């Protein structure tokens, strides 16, 4: 099973390493493919790195480990999300940690923003996104 990790920051790095150590194949994606490739090279043969759409194409499940404010951009760059499970580990906190960013934590308002960023994407709870077939 291949799992995509979108993002190479602290969360993405830790998840990619832990999942590779657990013997999952990992596809790391980043808007700068060289960053994903560098992390994959550090992790070893269980990991490969490239662009966001390339990583998403290889996996049925993806962890989105990007800043909350970048989520809409990532969803748009992801390519076809049909049948994929997306696990969003972001928190709707402003970049300077001074307050809540775009919606209120726990209300689901942030999920609605992500829903509108890509037709067919619907939030499930506060953490998992799933794309339904388009009508």
Contacts of 48 (CB under 8 A, 6+ apart): 26, 27, 28, 37, 40, 58
Tens of pLDDT, residues 60-104: 999 999 988 888 899 899 988 888 888 888 877 777 777 765 544
Residue-range domains of the chain with CATH: 2-131 (3.40.50.720)
- Alpha carbon distance 2, 19 (integer Å): 10
- Alpha carbon distance 44, 127 (integer Å): 29
With bands split at pLDDT 50, 70 and 90, how would you rate the model's confidence at 36? very high
With bands split at pLDDT 50, 70 and 90, how would you rate the model's confidence at 135? very low
Helices (H), 25-98: 33-43, 52-57, 71-77
Q: Is pLDDT above 90 for 43? A: yes
């Amino acid at each position: 099973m291949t799992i995509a990790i979108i993002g190479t920051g602290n969360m993405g790095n830790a998840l990619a390493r832990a999942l590779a150590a657990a013997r999952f194949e990992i596809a790391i994606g980043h808007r700068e493919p060289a960053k994903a490739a560098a992390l994959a090279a550090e992790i070893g043969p269980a990991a490969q790195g490239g662009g966001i759409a390339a990583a998403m194409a290889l996996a049925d499940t993806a962890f989105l480990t990007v800043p909350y404010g970048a989520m809409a951009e990532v969803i748009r760059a992801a390519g076809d999300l049909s049948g994929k499970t997306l696990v969003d580990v972001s928190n709707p906190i402003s970049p300077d940690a001074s307050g809540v960013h775009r919606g209120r934590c726990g209300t689901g308002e942030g999920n609605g923003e992500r829903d509108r960023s890509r037709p067919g994407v619907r939030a499930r709870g506060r953490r998992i996104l799933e794309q339904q077939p388009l009508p």
